[in-house]
Amino acid sequence: MGCDMNTDDLIAQLSGDARPVRRLAPPALRAALWLAGALAIMAALVAYHGIRPDLGAALAEPGGWLSLVSAAATGVAATFAAFHLAIPGTSRGWLLVPLPVALLWASGLGLGCYDEWLRQGPAGLELGEAYDCFQAIVLTSLLAGAPLLVMLRFGRLIRPVQTAAMGGLAVASLASAALELFHRGDARIMDVIWHVAAVTLIVALSSGSGAVAGRGALKASV
């Protein structure tokens, strides 16, 4: 059976029922919008708890300023990386954008941890109120992370796991920076351990949600 329809007619027929696609705003603009909302959440959290009375002394400790500033910078860098990775054709190099400031963040935490070990020794490993850090980072990350994942899914996720992992790193590091402003850690070594555990958990959960979203999108396209 022959086919009398030429290529132009076929294209016209297939595109006749196509709906117009709403173009996404530039990734940098969407990243800035989410950051504004996330920072508002963090500011409200700090305002609710109040600035810790020993903040000045804490920032003067070895690694104090470095830890706070690099945590916030990691969150900003990871946010822009996540929104760019959500766009098809974007370079994988965006995965490396948060790496320099994340290493500085780890260095600041490690320096503070080492200083505390020299002063307290094994006593710095006592649990104290350090578990509160874990809870605060996780809960704050979930609150700010939900709208982030929704915004990221507006793009055609080609790399859902990497994109979601960057999103998880963004919310967890920003939550950690906010926590530094109001939570007074009595055992810095355990604080570091719980900070790392909370960030790791959020990144893992985000990566898992990205994998699920990727499989769902793949099934829908088949």
Say what the pTM is: 0.75
Q: Measured between alpha carbons, how far is 213 from 15 in angstroms, rounded to an integer? A: 27
- Region class of 89: left (phi > 0), else alpha (psi between -120 and 50), else beta: left
Q: Measured between alpha carbons, how far is 118 from 96 in angstroms, rounded to an integer? A: 33
Q: Measured between alpha carbons, how far is 158 from 180 in angstroms, rounded to an integer? A: 35
Residue found by looking up tokens 């804490």 in the block: 58
pLDDT tens column, 71-127: 999 999 999 999 999 888 888 899 999 999 999 988 877 776 666 666 666 655 555
**Sign, CA torsion 84/90/91/95:** positive
pLDDT tens column, 20-43: 556 678 889 999 999 999 999 889
Q: Measured between alpha carbons, how far is 35 from 178 in angstroms, rounded to an integer? A: 13
Of the candidate ranges 15-19, 109-113, 171-175, the one whose mean pLDDT is the lowest: 15-19
What confidence category does residue 194 fall into, taking pLDDT thresholds of 50, 70 and 90?
low
